[in-house]
């Protein structure tokens, strides 16, 4: 999935070095978007994920033309809709896309039919009554609410409202939909259902989507590719499995899921692998990342579910440790291990009930493929 499946086709959205600054009330300047380059391919679901203030909403609004970028270029369906250099700026209604806002924002006083017909009626190029009826009914069928045309949004379930909002976004033949946290005001249980349905519909209907959220579970579930943002930049872009399993910075490793971090120094480089000096002893066989040199201060990271207690194998690293605390959480247990002779604590997650008790002497095995060496930097967005 993801971009690989689209080689040779033109992107639906193409961003080149897009930047957007805001002047704050106190006169200082915020670099809300700080040079973003990104392609969205036909049928692709790209999620912009990041903490509050990282610039994801501004980036979405800039694509839509609701904010004017200060730098860079934006192409949509192969046509340039914004170029700082060439002084091109198309208004939102000429950008050939639809935007879906928080809570789907259907008009309560209009029927489903009229809600969906709205974008057609507000166009300058008029459609006949018959054309409008045909287009609206077809798209309502497409999203599976063909029978709801005469109802009002207030009488419908969340799932039906979501379908109607999608119908409105797709009715004018557009195949690019921008979503600004549509599910953020919905309670957790319903959100899960709506997410599944949205996923199903996007994969079936095949429109391209750019979707803003600060919820990593939502991002992992919906995205073909996730753009993890920090301080106005895309810090990492890739399929959910990749940003989770192979984060390229401490920022991404800590923003998505939880990670154990063991401070270390690069002791030697052995071909493709690296030897680390950690407070709890040597760690060997870890795949080296680019640009490492002997003496670099780094952190060795691994996800809690990849630590294995009381196993010793050659294809990874073994540390001695003491079980400090065991927490039974139901489906899983969490074991806090203090690495031998140090103050370094790591967490290990296992399925089901814990096999150990507080105070046990254990060994902790982490497969080399699951250990990552990341630049020390900082975990903050300004890193
Ligand atoms: P959230 O999830 O809280 O909406 P976000 O990641 O979407 O966060 P943005 O809303 O895009 O972030 O904001 C990015 C930065 O730009 C922030 O520092 C914000 O304060 C600033 N900013 C956004 N809009 C404006 C504005 N109209 N005027 C001044 N500063 C702004």
The CATH number of whichever domain residue 90 belongs to comes to 3.40.50.300
Q: What is the mean pLDDT of residues 364-383?
A: 77
What pLDDT, on a 0 to 100 scale, did the predictor assign at position 7?
Answer: 57
Q: Which two tokens stand for residue 149?
A: 């045309």
| Residues 278 and 223 grouped into a single domain | no
Q: Is 256 a member of any domain? A: no
Q: Is 257 a member of any domain? A: no
Domain of residue 280 covers 262-375
CA 61–ligand 1 middle distance (angstroms): 11
CA 218–ligand 1 middle distance (angstroms): 21
Q: Can you spell out the DSSP letters for 57-93? A: HHHHHHHHTSS--SEEEEEETTEEEEETTTTEE--GG
| Residues 242 and 272 grouped into a single domain | no
Atom 19 of ligand 1: nearest residue by CA position: 53
| Residues 154 and 282 grouped into a single domain | no
Average pLDDT of the chain is 90
Say yes or no to pLDDT of 2 above 60. no
Q: Which two tokens stand for residue 337?
A: 């291990």
Q: Which of 311, 319, 220, 218 is nearest to 277 (CA)?
A: 319
Q: Is 383 a member of any domain? A: no
Q: What is the mean pLDDT of residues 324-345?
A: 93
Say yes or no to pLDDT of 379 above 70. no
| Residues 10 and 158 grouped into a single domain | yes
Q: Of 251, 280, 302, which residue is a domain's last?
A: 251
CA 41–ligand 1 middle distance (angstroms): 26
What pLDDT, on a 0 to 100 scale, did the predictor assign at position 185?
Answer: 77
Q: Is 165 a member of any domain? A: yes
| Residues 288 and 343 grouped into a single domain | yes
Q: Is 47 a member of any domain? A: yes
Say yes or no to pLDDT of 377 above 80. no
Question: CA 68 → CA 62, 88, 105, distances in Å?
Answer: 6, 11, 24
In the block, tokens 């489906």 appear at 331
CA 99–ligand 1 middle distance (angstroms): 18
Q: Is 282 a member of any domain? A: yes
379's CB contacts (< 8 A; 6+ apart) are 250, 251, 254
For the stretch 290-309, pLDDT in tens is: 778 899 999 999 999 999 99
Q: Of 197, 224, 251, which residue is a domain's last?
A: 251
| Residues 37 and 155 grouped into a single domain | yes
Q: Is 166 a member of any domain? A: yes
Domain tally, the chain = 2
Q: What phi and psi, each to the nearest 5 degrees, are found at residue 301?
A: -115, 145
| Residues 190 and 72 grouped into a single domain | yes
CA 249–ligand 1 middle distance (angstroms): 23
| Residues 190 and 314 grouped into a single domain | no
53 lines ligand 1 (CB under 6 A): yes
| Residues 172 and 318 grouped into a single domain | no
21 lines ligand 1 (CB under 6 A): no
In the block, tokens 């902790």 appear at 364
54 lines ligand 1 (CB under 6 A): yes
64 lines ligand 1 (CB under 6 A): no
Distance separating alpha carbons of residues 228 and 219, to the nearest angstrom: 10
28 lines ligand 1 (CB under 6 A): no
| Residues 48 and 165 grouped into a single domain | yes
CATH number, domain of 324, equals 2.40.50.100
> How much of the chain exceeds pLDDT 70, in percent?
95
| Residues 171 and 291 grouped into a single domain | no
| Residues 39 and 143 grouped into a single domain | yes
Q: Is 382 a member of any domain? A: no
Q: Of 231, 251, 271, which residue is a domain's last?
A: 251
Q: What is the mean pLDDT of residues 274-278?
A: 91
Say yes or no to pLDDT of 4 above 70. no
The whole model's pTM is what? Answer: 0.89
Give first-to-last CA distance, the chain, whole Å: 30
| Helix, coil or strand: residue 121 | helix
Distance separating alpha carbons of residues 179 and 173, to the nearest angstrom: 17
Q: Which two tokens stand for residue 26?
A: 């106190």
CA angle 106, 107, 108 (to 5 degrees): 105
Say yes or no to pLDDT of 5 above 70. no
């Amino acid at each position: 999935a993801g971009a690989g499946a689209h080689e040779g086709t033109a992107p639906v959205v193409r961003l080149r070095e897009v930047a957007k600054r805001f002047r704050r009330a106190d006169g200082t300047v915020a670099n809300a978007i700080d040079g973003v380059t990104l392609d969205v391919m036909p049928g692709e679901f790209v999620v912009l994920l990041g903490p509050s203030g990282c610039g994801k909403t501004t980036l979405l609004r800039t694509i839509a033309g609701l904010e004017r970028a200060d730098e860079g270029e934006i192409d949509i369906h192969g046509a340039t809709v914004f170029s700082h250099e060439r002084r091109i700026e198309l208004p939102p209604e000429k950008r050939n896309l639809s935007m879906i806002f928080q809570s789907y924002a259907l008009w309560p006083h209009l029927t489903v039919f009229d809600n969906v017909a709205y974008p057609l009626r507000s166009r300058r190029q008029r459609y006949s009554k018959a054309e409008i009826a045909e287009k609206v009914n077809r798209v309502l069928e497409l999203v599976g609410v063909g029978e709801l045309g005469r109802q009002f949004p207030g009488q419908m379930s969340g799932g039906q409202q979501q379908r109607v909002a999608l119908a409105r976004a797709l009715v004018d033949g557009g195949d690019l939909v921008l979503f600004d946290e549509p599910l953020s005001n919905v309670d957790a249980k319903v959100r899960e259902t709506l997410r599944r349905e949205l996923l199903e519909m996007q994969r079936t209907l095949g429109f391209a989507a750019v979707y803003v959220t600060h919820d990593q579970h939502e991002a992992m579930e919906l995205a073909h590719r996730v753009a993890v943002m920090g301080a106005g930049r895309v810090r990492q872009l890739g399929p959910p499995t990749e940003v989770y399993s192979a984060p390229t910075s401490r920022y991404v490793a800590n923003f998505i899921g939880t990670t154990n971090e063991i401070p270390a120094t690069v002791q030697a480089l052995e071909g493709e692998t690296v030897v680390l000096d950690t407070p709890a002893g040597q760690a060997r066989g870890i795949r080296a990342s680019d640009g490492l040199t002997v003496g670099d201060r780094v952190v060795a990271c691994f996800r809690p579910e990849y630590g294995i207690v009381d196993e010793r194998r050659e294809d990874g690293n073994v540390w001695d440790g003491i079980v400090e605390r065991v927490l039974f959480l139901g489906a899983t247990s969490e074991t806090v291990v203090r690495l031998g002779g140090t103050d370094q604590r790591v967490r290990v997650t296992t399925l089901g009930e814990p096999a150990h008790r507080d105070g046990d002497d254990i060994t902790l095995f982490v497969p080399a493929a699951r250990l990552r060496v990341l630049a020390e930097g900082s975990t903050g967005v300004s890193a």
